[in-house]
């Protein structure tokens, strides 16, 4: 698996590659954007529409370029983030920020599980 694979040309070959691509593209625009953009629209109307569009565009281009860099340099995305210039305490400052955000996901998931437990408890 160390060499680059040829692109599939048959229907079944394309179908096998379609699944992972759909999962990746679903991760680019997740439920967070759906909730935040609708709440922001309800609160301030069309005044902040430019902010939402700009944020979505920046997110897509950052993810595309980070993916291209990681593939071309044969590094993981964390290894690529570790090469960002700036202060380092064992690893790059950007990796520390990523670690904190990843740890926050644990608390978000705990809140979701707790909320679901309450809903199921109330439902009987």
Tens digits of per-residue pLDDT, 38-64? 787 788 878 877 887 888 788 888 888
Phi-psi region of 88 (alpha: psi -120 to 50; beta: other; left: phi over 0): beta
Q: How far apart are CA 67 and CA 75, in angstroms?
A: 10
Looking at every residue in the chain, the average pLDDT score rounds to 82
Q: What pLDDT sits at residue 117?
A: 93
pLDDT at residue 69 tops 70 = yes
The CA distance from 78 to 69, in Å, is 11
The per-residue pLDDT for range 107-123, each reduced to its tens digit, is: 888 988 999 999 999 98
pTM of the model: 0.51
- Listed ranges 20-24, 40-44, 85-89, 110-114; the one with the highest mean pLDDT: 110-114
Q: What Å distances lie between residue 24 and 48, 78, 85, CA to CA?
A: 27, 17, 28
d(CA 94, CA 110): 25
Instruction: Say how far apart CA 75 and CA 81 lie, in whole Å.
Output: 10
């Amino acid at each position: 698996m160390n060499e680059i694979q040829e692109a599939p040309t048959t229907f079944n070959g394309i179908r096998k590659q379609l699944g992972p691509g759909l999962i990746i593209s679903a991760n680019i625009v997740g439920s967070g954007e759906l909730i935040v953009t609708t709440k922001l629209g309800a609160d301030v109307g069309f005044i902040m529409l430019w902010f939402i569009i700009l944020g979505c565009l920046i997110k897509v281009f950052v993810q595309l370029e980070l993916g291209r860099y990681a593939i071309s340099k044969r590094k993981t995305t964390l290894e690529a983030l570790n090469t960002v210039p700036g202060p380092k305490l064992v690893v790059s400052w950007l990796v520390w920020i990523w670690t904190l955000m990843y740890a926050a996901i644990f608390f978000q998931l705990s809140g979701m599980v707790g909320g679901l437990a309450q809903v199921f408890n109330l439902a009987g």
